[in-house]
Structure 1
Amino acid sequence: MRNNLKKEKSILDGIDSKLIEQLYTNARTPVTELARAVGMTAPSVNERLKRLEESGVISGYRVEVNPVVLGYSLMAIVRMRQLPGKLKALEALIQSIPEFVECDKVTGDDCYIARLYLKDISQLDPILDQVSELADTNTAIVKSTPVKRRLLI
């Protein structure tokens, strides 16, 4: 019975969902504006946000940086299959190369799938040369992103 109550508490209602959507669009939205958007008072919205943070639904507020404005005009997806006994070394190498901005450890033929930003194509081979000492790679240049990271509610 207690587990069922706990599960029910974690379900978002329409107001929670609306608040999260607003913050996902702009994490700096003032509480007064959030309150207007959901038809509540600012103190009530503050309490909801506090509850969402304490329950772990909201785990942080982030800044989104545009890589193109910083000069990173290319994005690549690199699939990696580590060479025998090189898994930990490969993971450490990926973490040490700042152009790798995201990496997932996955099941299947590959062990890692990573997102890499480059200022130009000439940066790709030196990075892949480092990785190829520890893994077989398969790389694809991203042409566009029809579905950007989106809210899961």
Structure 2
Amino acid sequence: MDHLDITLLKLLQEDGRMTVSELSKRLPLSRPSISERLLRLHEKGIILGFNARVSPAAIGRDVLLIIQMSELKVSPQVFEQRIIGDDDILECHRVTGSVSYVMKAAVMGIDALSMLVERLMPYGTVNTSVILSSPVTNRVILPKE
């Protein structure tokens, strides 16, 4: 990756809707060169895809939380299959240490939070923390120089 690829990644992470024409105006490259670089970055697995960021609160999921699962009572494969099917879980990460999984969830109020915890309890020890604020989200990530 050269400095143009890095700049391209930065611009796209700041505004994923930026068109190839806009990118070619911001970078000293033609539209076909931009398209070729984007394709190469995608083929290398550097760009994973493009999606819209949705505000959970704006669609009624006003309680965001972090869930830690420990002392699993089932195999990781069984637990992961259960989590994949739960729409309240936004992210799930298998981690090292005394906690087995860290998840981020978005629910519609305290009753929905309670129901989510009840659904998870048969699988292990559940520890929840309600997110009060998020000072860092969707940070631009670039290779270290």
Q: Distance in 1 between matches of 2:84 and 2:115?
A: 16
Conserved 8 A contact 2:10-2:141: no
2:123 paired residue number: 134
Structure 1 vs Structure 2 CA RMSD: 1.5
Report sequence identity in percent: 29
Instruction: Name which of structure 1's ranges 111-120 and 21-30 shifts more when overlaid on structure 2.
Output: 21-30
Q: Distance in 2 between matches of 1:99 and 1:59?
A: 23
Q: Distance in 2 between matches of 1:86 and 1:63?
A: 33
Q: Distance in 1 between matches of 2:62 and 2:44?
A: 38
Residue of structure 1 aligned with 2:79, choices 87, 90, 103: 90
TM-score if structure 1 supplies the norm length? 0.85
TM-score if structure 2 supplies the norm length? 0.90
Conserved 8 A contact 1:82-1:90: no
Give secondary structure in 1 for the equivalent of 2:133: coil
Distance 1:43 1:85, change over 3 A: closer
Counterpart code for 2:42: E
Q: Which runs of 5+ in 1 are unaligned?
A: 1-11
Give secondary structure in 1 for the equivalent of 2:57: coil
Give secondary structure in 2 for the equivalent of 1:80: strand
In the TM superposition, what is the alpha-carbon distance from 1:86 to its structure 2 partner?
4.4
Conserved 8 A contact 1:77-1:141: yes
Q: Which runs of 5+ in 2 are unaligned?
A: none
The yes-or-no answer on 1:41 pairing with 2:30 is yes
In the TM superposition, what is the alpha-carbon distance from 1:83 to its structure 2 partner?
3.3
Q: Distance in 1 between matches of 2:17 and 2:37?
A: 16
For 1:54-77, what per-residue CA distance to the aligned partner results, in whole angstroms no more than 9, with x for missing partners? 222112112211111111111000
Counterpart code for 2:46: V
Structure 1 runs (4+) greater than 4 angstroms displaced? none
The yes-or-no answer on 1:152 pairing with 2:141 is yes
Give secondary structure in 1 for the equivalent of 2:69: strand
1:26 paired residue number: 15
Counterpart code for 2:14: T
